[in-house]
Amino acid sequence: MSPRTTESRSSSVALPRASARAGSARASTFAVELGNVHKSFGDKAVLRGVTLRIRRRETVCIMGGSGSGKSVTLKLISRLLEPDEGTIVLDGQDISHIEGQELETARKKLGVLFQSGGLLQSLTVAGNVALPLHENTTLGEAEIDERVSKILELLKVSDSRDLLPGAISGGMVKRVALARAVILEPQVVLYDEPTSGLDPVNAALVDEMIRDMRRSLGITQIVVTHNVPSIFRIADRIAMLYEGQIIFDGTPEEAKSSDEAVLRQFLGGQTKGPMGAQV
């Protein structure tokens, strides 16, 4: 999913920058709020009353066993799915059941980094990053090239701008995909397993990239991941899903000292415990 906009950005606005955001439906400390959200598929209840509030400029990691509803949560926030019950609030606006142009406008505030990267193999690195600007703004070629160059430099992939995705490493693909996700300056970026398929060194580099995004652009980040070392490198706060509910919501330090049995089993990678074969 690519955020869409029909308005031109001023060429005087330069990346990187961390600025106050305008246009909220109502002032709020929180960028994203889930209130008692339920979602089922047929007879299978995936989310059973999830409540989670994510502050602006915060990086929150959502973790849990396979099938716990992590990716469903991201799809609800981006409104690729609609909740059966409860509310989803983005930047102060209830987006739970909006449709059409109102939904498209809300989605302008989101960037998404897909698990696979989702780059178009026929376009160069620069071409992939420029694509949202070509499709969604009226910026001229010089302005687009300037913005693309700045974000590629920020993410340390400038030297690869003229290469095709098949010619760069998996870690570089993630960086380029993130550059494309933030080129329209979203308020919130959603990451779906950003270190999946990467070796430990490249995974650590992607974690570094995520930390840099918060420092440089001041964006809110929601990261779904199984990677426990990554969680402790990047998270301001951790939320754990189990049996359709948030069973832990706290800082990394609080997670390390928690007595919650499911959380301890997951963080320790233990085969015995309440999660059983659901891991």
pLDDT in tens, 40-83: 999 999 999 999 999 999 999 999 988 889 999 999 999 999 99
Do 192 and 267 fall into the same domain? yes
pLDDT recorded at residue 27: 56
Contacts of the segment 128-135: beta carbons below 8 A, 24+ positions apart: 128/165, 128/176, 128/177, 128/180, 129/176, 129/179, 129/180, 129/183, 130/183, 131/2, 131/180, 132/2, 132/3, 132/180, 132/183, 132/184, 133/183, 133/184, 135/2, 135/4
pLDDT recorded at residue 277: 55
Say what the pTM is.
Answer: 0.83
Quick check: is 11 in a domain? no
Do 134 and 258 fall into the same domain? no
Q: Which domain holds residue 271?
A: 25-109+188-279
Q: Residue 25: is its pLDDT beyond 50? A: no
What rounded mean pLDDT belongs to the chain? 86
CATH at 64: 3.40.50.300
Do 71 and 125 fall into the same domain? no
DSSP state of 133: H
Do 230 and 127 fall into the same domain? no
